[in-house]
Structure 1
Amino acid sequence: MSKFGAPNLVALRTKDGVASLSDLVRSSLRLRPDRIPIGEVRGAEALDLLKAWGTGHPGGIGTIHAGSALGALRRMEQLIQEAVVTVPRALIAETIDLIAVLSGRGANRHLAELACVEGLGPDGDYRISPAAPPTGMETETGDPS
């Protein structure tokens, strides 16, 4: 059993010139995954990952560099634009439910923002709202919530 409590974990790795992250995301769907975790999303594979998460699987997790929840959604758009011209904002808003923003380094790393993605507003922009951290989790001030 893996440290994530998953008895059937399949780890896939990229290899230059052989298997890109986009290739692995698409291949993972043939394995009928319960979850699709990705270490770091850095390029056009963001679109493949978004599509994979939206195919009826219970979801996944991935990391992206951004300073805020809204910034993470905007960064996802930028990465998707490496693959297509028109960003599927509705797909992003429907597929991503929760964004956790971490700040600091090492022992000073902390949860700076936890936000729910509620969809798109009438203006076509993302609607996000603060989500309460789990009970007992420390907030940015270091106080338990």
Structure 2
Amino acid sequence: MIAIGCDHAGVEMKKAIIEALSVQGFDFMDLGTDGEPCDYPDVAEKLCHEVLAGNCEKGILICGTGIGMSIAANKFKGIRAALCADSFSTRFTRMHNNSNVMCMGARTLGCGLACELAEIFLTTEFEGGRHQRRIDLITAIEEKQ
């Protein structure tokens, strides 16, 4: 199960991602919004709780630029959210950072590219190895807070 959520700027992109990736067998937990104005930190909080609780394997957050969602999501211990705007960075945030939440900007990306990036994010595996040591260092920083 993949958690997906957006603010009012990202409704059409969220719908496009769900439609495109559902045919590939991905199941989504849609955490809104469906068009009503909302505050992106509230959506990020709902989504992060679902990922951290183990109800969803990964999450996708969409706002106007993706920046606000990234900032909000990264406030949660155990969440490694990455702003994704190109295929290289999207692939490597999974391979090297084991990111569990991707953030995208509905006002900065087209829906076609967003669907491609979501597929890359959801199908790319974490490489582990030397990268796990770095994830452990990030976790140690979180534990100090």
The two structures have a TM-score, normalised by structure 2, of 0.32
- Which structure: greater helix fraction? 2
Larger Rg: 1
